[in-house]
Structure 1
Amino acid sequence: MPNAETHATAVASASELPGDADIAAGLNVRQQALFEAVRRDGFLTVENLAVNFDVTPQTIRRDIHLLAERKLVRRYHGGVGLPGGAENEAYDARQSLLTDEKQRIAAALAAQIPDHASLFINIGTTTEAVARALSRHRGLRVITNNLHVAAMMSGYPDAEVIIAGGVVRARDQGVTGEATLDFIRQFRVDFGIIGISAIDPDGTLRDFDYREVRVAEAIIAHSRTVYLAADHSKFGRSALVRLGHLSQVDALFTDCPIPPEMASVLQDAGTRVFVAT
């Protein structure tokens, strides 16, 4: 899990958060720094914050309580994250966030995919990074509802790409709808590769668009093995629609150690964890 010294790209746009002057009003230096750390990293544990700021966990909890009362952060069991929203960030913004982390995750996941495998790849900038990392694989058969993935992988000399039909979303070139669901349900593939917008501390998987969630549910149901690609900013983040649970995922690929309170959830679920460093 990233600490307060990590210099990662912010996971929330400046337009969604209060201005610096508003934040500083009534906060001490540590509380301001704590908020900035959460704004950068998306989710941090009380334990890590206490170590990084050299104070007791009780002091950190009081700081979090104050920030939560001002609606600057959201409290979680054992940690703190950004307030949730009903809509995801714009595609262009997400594409530029945590690019190095996504590349590491993608490389780790691609290393677990054998040649001549059949795949689902769904909508998302992290799954697009996975598609790029698969460029040297041989004999892949890829079914996707992501036009960015389809355009990219159709240029690979030894891959067959099948595009799911449906309604194309202008904002990110994702394909959803009843036709998409009907198409995906015709197949049973070796690996379903999915991204996610948010993971609750209890292991619940969440996203922002109900139609996109239904497609991801179908991918999970029709894959022999399910791989989830999610960078650290997804832990403790909020999103509107429930997709499923980590227990439905065979392996989670991420870029930082799992929050301690989520480690037991993953262990109970039997989900393997790959941390790409």
Structure 2
Amino acid sequence: MPQSIRQPDILEIARSAGKVTVDGLAAHFGVTVQTIRRDLSELSDAGLLERVHGGAVLPSGVSNILYEERRRLHGSAKQAIARACAATIPDNASLFLDIGTTAEAVAHALLGHENLMVVTNNMNVAQILQANETCEIVVAGGTLRRSDRGLVGALTARTIGNFKFDHAILGCSALDPDGDMLDFDMQEVIVGQTLLSRSRECILVADHSKFARSAPMRIGSLRDIDQFFTDSPLTAPLAERCREWGTRVCVAHP
């Protein structure tokens, strides 16, 4: 069965079941798992499905996909983004690392740096950076979000307000075509908005899947960002806006 015929049926199955699996679709259509993986990759690139371990789910505009699933998504892209971002951070710098799996990849990429002071609301980042004995780690207090070990809310924002960082490394759940950075959690949005005003350089790290997603709450705009590290070129209109705003875009290829 040609892919152009099969893919609408895959979407219908996903809409009725909420999730599809590679093995289940391969059996349903009588094709190989490799063929189904190509179908799901194409549907994901089109923003119609979100790839997860073993299959795919419908993209949501009101709630984020589970943290463990996010950790498995686009691993090579996140690592490439993290390496490119870390290469711009000098030794002896102060920085903030945000919640998110890409921020955690950046933490791994910073393990070779010396004499950093890292403030984070991501307990996973703090744990990763323990391996760097020259790194001073400050954990910003707040309300623990058990799903991803992030600390969020007004207390976190007040802690951040006591600092002026050399660099702040942020993530987002979605990037609107007009350049707005979006998220699902108001408490996390408050933290991100505070960071934009407390950092000499603001850096966004986000892979291409964020271009096809939507979320209901606005953190800020790429206008507020100094450097944006991603793994895929922006659309021509958004790239032109970034040039007008002075936002430097680095495309890091896996």
Q: State whether TM-score is above 0.5.
A: yes
Tell me what 2:139 maps to.
163
Q: CA deviation at 1:155?
A: 2.3
1:273 lines up with 2:249 in the alignment:
yes
Structure 1 unaligned blocks of 5 or more: 1-13, 25-31, 44-71, 74-81
Letter in 1 for 2:201: T
Letter in 1 for 2:127: A
Equivalent residues of 2:160, 2:195 under 8 A apart: yes
Tell me what 2:45 maps to.
41
User: What is the aligned counterpart of 1:85 among 30, 38, 61?
Assistant: 61
Equivalent residues of 2:111, 2:131 under 8 A apart: no
Structure with bigger RCO (C-alpha 8 Å, 6+ apart): 1
Residue 227 of structure 1 aligns to a residue whose secondary structure is: strand
1:117 lines up with 2:86 in the alignment:
no
Whole-Å separation in 2 of the counterparts to 1:105 and 1:210:
26
Whole-Å separation in 1 of the counterparts to 2:37 and 2:82:
31
Tell me what 2:221 maps to.
245
Q: CA deviation at 1:37?
A: 5.1
Counting only pairs closer than 5 Å after superposition, residues 195-274 of structure 1 correspond to structure 2 as 195-274=171-250
Residue 113 of structure 1 aligns to a residue whose secondary structure is: coil
Q: Deviations over 1:221-257 (max 9, x none)?
A: 1000001001001113101111110000001001111
Whole-Å separation in 2 of the counterparts to 1:224 and 1:197:
23
Residue 87 of structure 1 aligns to a residue whose secondary structure is: coil
TM-score using structure 1 length: 0.73
The two structures, once aligned, show a CA RMSD in angstroms of 2.5
User: What is the aligned counterpart of 2:70 among 73, 77, 94?
Assistant: 94
Q: CA deviation at 1:85?
A: 2.0
Tell me what 2:32 maps to.
none
1:151 lines up with 2:151 in the alignment:
no
Q: Deviations over 1:53-95 (max 9, x none)?
A: xxxxxxxxxxxxxxxxxxx68xxxxxxxx75421101010000
Q: CA deviation at 1:146?
A: 0.2
TM-score using structure 2 length: 0.80
Q: CA deviation at 1:35?
A: 7.9
Tell me what 2:81 maps to.
105
